[in-house]
Structure 1
Amino acid sequence: MENSNALILLRKELHQHPEVSGEEVQTAKRVLSFLENFPPDKVITGLGTTGVAAIYKGEKTGKTILFRCELDALPIEEINIFEHRSRSKGVSHKCGHDGHIAILCGLAIELHQKKPESGTVILLFQPAEEDGTGAQKVFLDPKFAILQPDYVFALHNLPGYDMHQIVVKNNTFTCAVNSIIIKLKGKTSHAGEPEKGINPALAIAAIITEFNTIIQSDIEKEDYCLITPIYTKMGTKAYGVSAGAGEVHFTVRSDSNSQMRKIEGTLENLAKTIANKHNLSCKIKWTQGFQANENNKTTVDVIKKAAKTIDFALLEKDTPFTWGEDFGLFTQQYPGAMFGLGSGLNTPALHNPDYDFPDEIIATGVAIFHQISKEITNAH
């Protein structure tokens, strides 16, 4: 019970002091301060900027298993008025990363108190998940290269699902997401003589219209493809001037990484063809890309076995989640899986300004991660 209270206090403290992607300096310090009470065999700091890896080694050699959580919060103003509300204006933990950190710290307590029988357990506290850059920064860090996990796992809390329920799925768990920025350049002219310039308006309209024809928004069918217009800009508020440049941004979602590559090519070709038809130059940039989490069946089976062993409710989902999660990069590199942990049917949705991670599920997360680690590290 004492450890449980310590984890809740940590979670609330993290909630009060959120930091956006790439700026999680104090969050990482709080994690390190907590881990000092349950010392790992080795700690690596500064992974991919602010990341931390805590390594607990077993009595005998064996498999290496990595569990990952996220350090960052979101640029969202919190509207909750409880005592542990965010003290940082315009920033708050609206995805539950504070809770995910507490769960991994709870696993640290378990691993410190009773070493794995075999193998190694790595707890990765990863920066910058929300902007899609953190997993790659960690993966490319030479300090990470020496770790070489055999299996990787992560969980995400799920509002709208029964509290404490474990949600699994083979193959794609979260969608591939990428965002495209299309910049068009023509020529400004007098608004009374638009024919003497090249205005991008019709090209922007055509791109939006053509992209719309590619959408297949039913996740239950094959070739899921969601294209959402995000932002557009053209000209200036100078009413005597016909615009000579503009840009339009979209997010693109697909239910597999291979399908996403095809969609990206199609959209680039369409944008360039339309720009060419309207005598515009066209520059295309992709940003905030998330690989799909493509779950490995063997590791999903381990999660299912762990849930049954400790008698947790289990739900096998038929379709992927449509949001992106950069843990997908790790499931591309190593056998692994992301799974869901129900955070209550009536919990506000992720990224909503009134969302708060429910402390009741911290112990559930610790228990399922610990059981997964036992399934693998005690398998010898």
Structure 2
Amino acid sequence: MESLKDTLEKVRKELHKFPEVSEEEYETKKRIEAFLEEHTSCEILSVAKTGLLAIFNGKKEGKTVMLRADIDALPIQEVNTFEHKSVNEGVSHKCGHDGHTTILLGVAKLLAEKPLSKGKVVLLFQPSEENGRGAQSVLEDTCFKQLNIDYVFALHNLPGFTKREIVVKEHEFTSNVKSVVITLKGKTAHAAEPEKGYNPANAIAEILHFVRQETKNIPEDSDFFLATPVHVTMGEKAYGISAGYGEVHLTLRSWSARLMKEKQNNLEQLLQKLEEKERLSINTSWFEEFYANKNNKEAVEYVKKAAEQLNLSINEINTPFKWGEDFGLFTQQYKGAMFGLGAGKNTPALHNPDYDFPDEITVTGAQLFYNILKEVQQ
């Protein structure tokens, strides 16, 4: 009989081989559904177009607990050459969502083999985490709104931490993140007579100065704020022309939602002044907004107790992670926690083209989630 580890490794490598980006996870959804139908008798519901809910009901009433796995891949070309490498050009699982999905499938198998006596378990296979639209789509889905959820939990694999180490933190676990594209439209002119046009260069310089001035990249401080220029462009490579158009692309990060709003307002006030001063038309487009994961103290205790039962090392960190994770939208609305699962000290970093989720930690993740479910129902 095939072991749980072997079963999960097989499905994880299949998911890795056939990755799909946000909002296009149609085949991934079919693979998840096929596994659930083969290994469980749970209720399976579609959610947020390309997502799934797997629902397990205990015989007695109890709490409703949601576990979430993200299922989308990234638009990154894989450089690995192993047999299960991505067959989809320019798309690959470089954040470990194939592993997160497999862990939740492992939970489903454990629940089928050892059902909980009470309560309800909702396994959410969520699409579109990478573009920040998945959690919102699930929350707006009529099917999901009918669930009366008490607790929510999710994990993220963490390269740089010892394999199977459980990383926890109360309050903020990840950062608030927003991206913005600033377009500056002026008027081209001859490069010898720039005064006859409206060049965005000075405005772009002031925006970049603002970024440098406002940034406080000290994660240990509560007023941590990081503005990162990710793309800047202006004009054309035509040396007789004074530019009339430019763009600045930024990401903003903070622990505090209040500070994020304050900095956003400061930036928009600066742009209003520059519009008048430089005689430009300046527009902003805000997108890929991620809310901070706010970990509930009680939920974190459930994670720690479950980890102790499995004799897993627990690492209570002091500083949140600077990356965004759209599970934060769930922890803003429900009691819950996101925690980390160590993926290995020497595992390539997330979003790197040579990253591959380590199969050695999959069963650990599944067993830990299962124990969390048991703890909540006690």
> TM-score under structure 1 normalisation?
0.97
Distance 1:166 1:357 in 2: 16
Range with bigger deviation, 188-197 or 290-299: 188-197
For the 8 Å contact 1:207–1:274, the answer to whether it is kept is no
Distance 1:311 1:261 in 2: 42
Which residue of structure 1 lines up, in the alignment, with residue 7 of structure 2?
6
Which residues in structure 2 correspond to 1:1-380 (within 5 Å)?
Answer: 2-45=3-46, 47-377=47-377, 379=378
Q: How many residues align?
A: 377
Supply the AA of the counterpart residue of 1:43.
Answer: I
Supply the AA of the counterpart residue of 1:34.
Answer: F
For the 8 Å contact 1:40–1:54, the answer to whether it is kept is no
Supply the AA of the counterpart residue of 1:4.
Answer: K
Distance 1:82 1:185 in 2: 48
Query: RMSD of the alignment, in Å?
Result: 1.1
- The offset of 1:262, in angstroms, is 1.7
Supply the AA of the counterpart residue of 2:257.
Answer: N
- The offset of 1:321, in angstroms, is 0.5
**1:17-75 CA-partner distances (Å, limit 9, x unpaired):** 01111111001100000001233432111x22201000000111111000000111111
**1:94-143 CA-partner distances (Å, limit 9, x unpaired):** 11100101100000001112221111000000001111111111111112
Q: 5+ unaligned residues in a row in structure 1: which ranges?
A: none
For the 8 Å contact 2:173–2:338, the answer to whether it is kept is yes
Supply the AA of the counterpart residue of 1:359.
Answer: D
- The offset of 1:187, in angstroms, is 1.5
- The offset of 1:269, in angstroms, is 1.5
The share of aligned pairs that are identical, in percent, is 53
For the 8 Å contact 2:158–2:341, the answer to whether it is kept is yes
**1:208-234 CA-partner distances (Å, limit 9, x unpaired):** 012210000010122101111011222
> TM-score under structure 2 normalisation?
0.97
- The offset of 1:81, in angstroms, is 1.1
Secondary structure of 1:263 counterpart: helix
**1:216-257 CA-partner distances (Å, limit 9, x unpaired):** 001012210111101122223333222222111100110122
Secondary structure of 2:182 counterpart: strand
Supply the AA of the counterpart residue of 1:253.
Answer: R
For the 8 Å contact 1:62–1:120, the answer to whether it is kept is yes
**1:272-292 CA-partner distances (Å, limit 9, x unpaired):** 222322121211111111001
Secondary structure of 1:174 counterpart: coil
Distance 1:49 1:319 in 2: 35
